[in-house]
Amino acid sequence: MTRIEAPVGRLVVCPTPIGNLEDITLRVLAALERADVIACEDTRHTRVLLARHGIATRLISFHEHNERARAEELATRISEGAVVALVSDAGTPLVSDPGFALVRACVAAELPVEVLPGPSAVTTALVASGLPGERWRFVGFLPRARGELESLLADASETIVAFESPRRLAATLALLAARDPARPVAVCRELTKLHEEVRRGSAGELADHYRESPPRGEVVLVCGAAAPGQVSREEALQTLRALIDAGAKARPAAVAVARLTGLGANELYGELTSGGQ
């Protein structure tokens, strides 16, 4: 008797354009057309892309608020033979976008996962920045807490690529400039879109520019490595506390540590007296 094997589907991770709708590969278009269903962040957004290329595959919402439940549902459908294409609103899924739970569910169930190459704002910005790409790190969206942000950027020994809100960009650049005004930076805005802008310069120059001219649209910030020998805020505070424990007065000690580290004396003294870490 011939044994009939149950059909096994697969998950196809499909990068989509980050701006220009023509920036999509032939393989991705074929995958979207042949899939049984497309899981997407915003069905309205994805319909625009599909209509542009004459594709009518059924859509299902898959976003940060329903990702866990949808992942289980879609993994079950894949195990029953369905082909599911995963897209985000722009770029490569899972890169600061939903999709991790679904990929993990498929991997755990030993279901096939096919990842197609395609657009990514991360690599586009890295190349456009003109900064070293031999060693680099993508950190997603920059943290809002000043201490976390300062520590992340101050200790970087490689090029850093990050997403940043246009509303916070000027403040982030000002923080960079306060520590090292000559640090090389590139602000990549609205990549591949009509008003694309890549502005390169020092942290000090770009901080001045965006303080006077607030940006609009989506921003990718690329920072060169921190200058060797820079001391983090946390290390400076530890040194300051050690001096005070040894008998030094707080205000003169803060001035001395500031001169050695390049940090602001008032900032250090304020952190000390407020109990900041």
pLDDT of residue 1: 47
Domain with CATH 3.30.950.10 in the chain: 121-223
Looking at the DSSP bridge assignments, the partners of residue 161 are 138, 222
pLDDT of residue 3: 47
Instruction: Please state which CATH number belongs to domain 10-115.
Output: 3.40.1010.10
- CA-nearest of 127, 94, 134, 97 to 113 is 94
Residue bearing the bigger pLDDT, 265 or 209:
209
**For 231-268, what is each residue's pLDDT tens digit?**
667 778 888 888 888 888 888 888 888 877 767 788 78
Q: CA distances (Å), 260 to each of 155, 231, 236, in order?
A: 17, 9, 9
Residue bearing the bigger pLDDT, 157 or 31:
31
Domain with CATH 3.40.1010.10 in the chain: 10-115
Q: In degrees, to the nearest 5, what angle opens at C-alpha 220 toward C-alphas 214 and 223?
A: 100
**For 28-81, what is each residue's pLDDT tens digit?**
999 999 999 999 999 999 999 999 999 999 999 999 899 999 999 999 999 999
* Rounded Cα–Cα distance for residues 210 and 216 (Å): 10
* Rounded Cα–Cα distance for residues 195 and 81 (Å): 43
pTM as predicted: 0.78
Residue 275: pLDDT over 70: no
**β-strands 136-141, 159-164: how paired?**
parallel
CATH topology of domain 121-223: 3.30.950
Dihedral sign, Cα of residue 89, residue 95, residue 96, residue 100 = positive
